[in-house]
Chains A and B, each alone.
Chain A
Amino acid sequence: RDELIKGQGRGCLLKEIHLNVTDLGLGYRTKEELIFRYCSGPCYDSETNYDKILNNLTQNKKLDKESPSQTCCRPIAFDDDLSFLDDSLEYHTLKKHSAKKCACV
Chain B
Amino acid sequence: MGYGIKLKVWGDYACFTRPEMKAERVSYDVITPSAARGILEAIHWKPAIRWVVDRIHVLKEIRFENFRRNEVGSKISAANVKKAMNGNTVALYQSVEEDRQQRAALLLRNVAYVIEAHFEATDKWGERDTPEKHYNMFLRRAREGQCYHRPYLGCREFPAQFELLEGELPASSLRGERDLGWMLWDIDYADGMTPRFFRPTMRNGVIDVERLAQGGGVR
A-B interaction? no
Chain A residues with a Cβ under 8 A of chain B: none
